[in-house]
Amino acid sequence: MYRLYGSMCNQPKRLREVLAPVRDLLVSEGPVASWGLGYAHGGEVLLRRHPRPTDRVDFYDVVESVASDYIVLYASSDATYKGNDNTQPFRYKNWLYAQAGEVDAFDAIKPALVDHIPGFIARNIHGKTPAEHVFHVFLAFLHDAGVLGDINLPPEHARRALRDALALVYNLIVQAGGTRGPGNAIVTNTRTMLAVRVDDPLYVRRFRKSDRKEAHDLKAVLITSGDTAPGEGFEEVPPRSVIAVSRDLQIDIVALDA
């Protein structure tokens, strides 16, 4: 079991109002081996991790005290990798990343992955999970393109780096005799958010509410993937596609391999 969520909201203090209509979706019944929350606040990217098993996690309650325009949530029943450093999401400066799925032959391909990552980026790897290493391969591709430090980089640059990182990892897995590669993922740099559908279904929901007392409409986007279909109001993202959400909450869905 896993649950993967990403949300962007133009009014951070009203985040729970956005999530209220889908509150039931935000509950992960146990056993939950670990869960985590990453969010932007005051120009910083913060993490809240819970690496210990629990019977249930209600992310609607978890975000009660969070006022953020960008959040990434992850819960999993997989207890293969334990401890705080192995609990998703992962962070690198202004970047947040969470990914589902098991990776075949990871021990065999890990040295090749690390070799692809510049030392100053690799020093940020603190755990042992495949997801954290895939994240840093993605960062390495951003570095190769000269855009790692560009906070306002166009979403297509991040999409290309994500595509190339996943392709590299999968090719190494095949060479090592494996078949299962990285699963669906969400990544954000607190300006844009990308989510990739590799295998399991991935869904997106748009939210908009007009209020005469407010200068701007309340707008938000929620992305989710897991073992439960989210129900009415969600649009299914096509297989092997990337959804990019811009800072003004515009959505663009393109083929992963484009």
What digits encode the pLDDT tens for the residues 24-35?
999 998 899 999
pLDDT at 93: 95
Range of the domain at 170: 2-255
* Cβ(173)–Cβ(105) below 8 Å: yes
Q: Indicate left, alpha or beta for 3 from its phi (over 0: left) and psi (-120 to 50: alpha).
A: beta
Contacts of 52 (CB under 8 A, 6+ apart): 34
Q: Is 46's pLDDT higher than 70? A: yes
Find all residues with CB under 8 Å of 172, minimum gap 6, and list them.
Answer: 105, 109, 112, 113
Distance CA 9, CA 219 (A): 6
What is d(CA 238, CA 31) in angstroms, rounded to the nearest whole number?
30
**Tens-digit pLDDT profile for residues 58-89:** 999 999 999 999 999 999 999 899 999 999 99
The residue behind tokens 């897995």 is 173
pLDDT of residue 214: 63
Beta-carbon contacts of residue 59 (< 8 Å; ≥ 6 apart): 3, 5, 26, 27, 28, 35, 37, 73, 75
Share of the chain above pLDDT 70, in %: 98
Residue 48: its pLDDT value, please?
A: 96
Separation of alpha carbons 103 and 173, rounded Å: 8
Q: Average pLDDT of 92-116?
A: 95
Please tell me the distance from the alpha carbon of residue 204 to that of residue 206, in angstroms, as a whole number: 7
Residue partners of 116: CB distance under 8 A and separation at least 6: 137, 140, 168
CB contact at 8 A, 212 and 219: no
- 8 Å CB contact between 87 and 35: yes
Q: Say if residues 31 and 256 touch (Cβ distance below 8 Å).
A: no
Is the model's pLDDT at 126 over the cut of 70?
yes
Count of domains observed in the chain = 1
CATH of the domain at 93: 3.60.20.10
* Each residue's pLDDT tens digit, 233-258: 999 999 999 999 999 999 999 999 88
